[in-house]
Structure 1
Amino acid sequence: MNNISLSIVIPLAKGERQWLRLCDDFSLLPDGSEIIIVACNGEQLGEQLASLKRRFCRLSWQLIYSTQGRGIQLNKGAALARQPFIWFLHADSQITADNINALLACLANKNSQNSLFYFDLYFFDKSSWRLKINEAGARFRSNLLGLPFGDQGFFVSKETFNSLGGYREDTPYGEDHLLVWQAKQQGVKLRRCASQLATSARKYELYGWRSLTLKYQYLWPKQAIPQLVKLIKIKFF
């Protein structure tokens, strides 16, 4: 398993700094893994990248710039990936040795080529018990409905990702959600990676738990319904 190397694509919003904390965890990655940072045009991150290259010289690093937009940035990073598997990470994720070992075990499986993998979600900095409800909701949505979201660390072979057509770039939200539907519609399997990937609850702190939770519970079904209709037509008509 240890001979599997990854391309890790991390899109950054303007002014994003959480990615520097995430990069501290990259000492856990297999040798030869590639990190692709996709920053917004106008950002100046050359010094930070040079420091990371010195600290983690056994890894490969790319810093590229792009028009802002998560789908655009993810696709641009994926297009430059040189390894056979791509791991898409949000900048406010935190990874552990357990994550890496579970990921490598998944990729060593004979079914890894035609699969889109995801982790279980938990918030490492939650300050309210209410966020445990969101964690449970994510498990229900992912494992029972087969609808994980991008903060659960999608990883997929580059070949399969390209066959899906990449992330949608014409949507104001939910490009990760739509990629899952693209997978369902093309017969790519959604597979759980049995490890918890930590992400930040900072958006809930900033916008309020109730308002953000209600917003998400409105937006994702609104986006899912037409995709479900399309899937039914593909399968039965």
Structure 2
Amino acid sequence: MPDPFSLSVIVPVWREAPGIESSLKALASIREAGHQVIVVDAGSDDGTAVLAGPLCDRVLVSERGRGAQMNAGAAAAGGNLLLFLHADTRLPADAVTQLETFMTSRSAWGRFDVRLSGRRALFRVIAWFMNQRSRLTGVCTGDQAMFVRRDAFEALGGFRAQPLMEDVEFSRRLCLVSRPYCIHSPVITDSRRWEKLGPWRTIFLMWRLRWRYWRGESPESLAQAYRSDVRNA
């Protein structure tokens, strides 16, 4: 008999004090259903870990970098399904039911459709293109709440320790195992990054970085370019 479905939600954070409590309260029903929420902090100096403690099952401290943080969370997780969730992303109300259905499939991994929280019509268009791109390419980004069977995660060695595009890189390796399973109930991702930089500037930045990555440029240089663009916004 297969093992009963058990879920571990892994939330990598850094300086998320203003929003971490609301983020974790949104996961309370998942914990009440017997599943696990792990927060992996990268040494925040704003009290993020202290605020997170009462609202999750475990708080870990890791070196900074989403790949390293998510790997640390996976190593400590008890579930047979690992879900990696950004602190500014909210799962749909039927997430657990949808994931239970996924566990009856043959897919090794999957992701949710995404919707941006802003009210501008352009955000609906952006989200539509993000979802369509993911369907065509099989590539998943962190905003789409990637989930992976534990055995597949361990067989592939988890995320690479790189400062940017760790989700894209892992998606490419996961696609060698299976196509991603798509859950159409969307996660809601905070549009603050898009609003801060401006939607069009953000689109061009993401396209430019992804193009440079596909051409073989190092994640380190891309991360530097990204930080420079954000600082100058």
Q: Which whole-Å CA distance do the structure 2 matches of 1:203 and 1:157 have between them?
A: 30
The equivalent position to 1:86 in structure 2, one of 78, 82, 88, is 82
TM-score, with length taken from structure 2: 0.83
Give, in whole Å, the separation in 1 of the partners of 2:16 and 2:166.
21
Identity percentage over the alignment? 25
Aligned ranges for residues 182-201 of structure 1 at < 5 Å? 182-184=173-175, 186-201=176-191
Segments of 4+ moved more than 3 angstroms: 42-47
Cα distance in 2, alignment partners of residues 13 and 213 from structure 1: 24
* Range moving further from structure 2, 154-163 or 7-16: 7-16
Matched, 1:35 2:31: no
Aligned 1:1-237 pairs, distance under 5 A: 3-29=4-30, 31-43=33-45, 44-45=47-48, 47-52=50-55, 61-109=57-105, 111-112=106-107, 115-124=108-117, 126-170=118-162, 172-184=163-175, 186-224=176-214
1:192 is paired with a residue whose SS is strand
Asked whether the equivalents of residues 38 and 73 of structure 1 are also in contact (C-alpha less than 8 Å), the reply is: yes
May I ask how many residue pairs the two structures share in their alignment? 212
Indicate if the aligned counterparts of 1:40 and 1:68 stay in contact, CA closer than 8 A.
yes
Q: What is the CA-CA distance between 1:28 and the residue it aligns to?
A: 2.5
One-letter amino acid matched to 1:203: R
TM-score normalised by structure 1 residue count: 0.81
Q: Which runs of 5+ in 1 are unaligned?
A: 54-60, 227-237
User: Which consecutive unaligned segments of at least 5 residues does structure 2 have?
Assistant: 217-233
Partner deviation per Cα, 1:31-55 (whole Å, 9 max, x = no partner) = 32111100122544454244326xx
8 Å contact kept, 1:122–1:197 = yes
| Partners of 1:25 and 1:96 within 8 A in 2 | no
**CA RMSD in angstroms, aligned pairs only:** 2.1
User: Cα deviation per residue 1:119-143 (whole Å; 9 max; x = unaligned)?
Assistant: 001012x132221221111122111
Hey, what's the Cα distance between the residues in 2 that align with 1:138 and 1:62?
32
Question: What is the alpha-carbon distance in structure 2 between the residues aligned to residue 90 and residue 42 of structure 1?
Answer: 15
Tell me, what secondary structure is at the counterpart of 1:68?
Answer: coil
Paired residue type of 1:37: V
Secondary structure at the aligned position of 2:194 is classed as: helix
1:28–1:167 Cα change, 3 Å: same
